[in-house]
């Protein structure tokens, strides 16, 4: 993001701080600038004067976000954004947008920047961050579409491969069945041929015996008639 806006110098711009509130606000600013955000948030929370409520909540919300307590920080800034005067409310929206952006919640961040610009149309930092956020959203959408497209193509290719494999399997099964049928037919022909050969051999042997018997009878019948 281009920069974050934390208005810890608001003490100089607003009146109504009592001595205790002024001290707590000043000490809170000191802790914040040193990076001690939890201590800063506690000190901002001690500011009691109702006239300083939104300033205290604004500072405390920023410190809470910096300390890692995002939800509490957004809640405090949200109250300022909805109920505070337009100047501090627009900055609260802006800081909420920055916090959401840093947590990769780009759509929500864009809405916060839009709200800030509604209150302060010449808020250039909000314009810059909104444009950047919208570009990221567009890129993210494109990436998701490409990812989905690649996923769909991958599924189609996988389905195509499975269909081809299934077709090849069916073809192979058909060939195997045909081969099995041919093998059975060849086996039957081989068995029949052997059986037929045995039958023919037996028939030949019977014929041979019959022919031999008939030949002997024939000779015995004719011999006496041609014997001198």
Distance CA 83, CA 188 (A): 99
Global pTM value: 0.61
Distance CA 56, CA 18 (A): 13
Q: Which residues contact 81 (CB under 8 A, 6 or more apart)?
A: 89, 92, 93, 96, 115
Q: Which residues contact 102 (CB under 8 A, 6 or more apart)?
A: 1
Q: Tell me whether residue 137 is exposed, middle or buried, using C-beta atoms within 10 angstroms of its C-beta: 0 to 12, 13 to 18, 19 or more.
A: middle
Which CATH class, in words, describes the domain spanning 10-140? mainly alpha
pLDDT of 126 higher than 80? yes
pLDDT tens sequence across 185-210? 666 555 556 677 677 777 777 766 66
| Mean pLDDT across 155-159 | 80
* Among 97-106, 120-129, 181-190, the least confident range: 181-190
Nearest residue to 4 via CA among 83, 61, 44, 78? 61
* Among 15-19, 73-77, 139-143, 217-221, the least confident range: 217-221
| Mean pLDDT across 14-37 | 83
């Amino acid at each position: 993001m281009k920069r974050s806006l934390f208005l810890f110098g608001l003490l100089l711009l607003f009146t109504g701080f009592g001595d205790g509130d002024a001290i707590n606000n000043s000490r809170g600013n000191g802790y914040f600038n040193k990076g001690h955000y939890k201590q800063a948030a506690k000190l901002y929370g001690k500011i009691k004067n109702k006239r300083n409520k939104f300033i205290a909540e604004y500072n405390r919300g920023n410190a809470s976000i910096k300390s890692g307590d995002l939800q509490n920080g957004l809640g405090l800034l949200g109250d300022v954004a909805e109920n505070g005067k337009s100047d501090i409310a627009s900055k609260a929206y802006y800081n909420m947008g920055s916090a959401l952006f840093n947590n990769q919640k780009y759509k929500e961040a864009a809405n916060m920047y839009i709200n800030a610009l509604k209150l302060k149309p010449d808020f250039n930092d909000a314009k810059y961050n909104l444009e950047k956020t919208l570009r990221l959203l567009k890129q993210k959408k494109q990436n998701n579409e490409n990812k989905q497209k690649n996923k769909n193509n991958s599924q189609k290719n996988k389905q195509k491969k499975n269909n081809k494999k299934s077709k090849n399997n069916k073809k192979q099964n058909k060939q195997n069945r045909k081969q099995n049928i041919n093998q059975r037919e060849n086996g039957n022909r081989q068995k029949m041929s052997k059986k037929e050969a045995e039958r023919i051999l037996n028939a030949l042997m019977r014929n041979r015996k019959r022919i031999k018997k008939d030949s002997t009878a024939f000779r015995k019948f004719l011999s006496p008639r041609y014997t001198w």
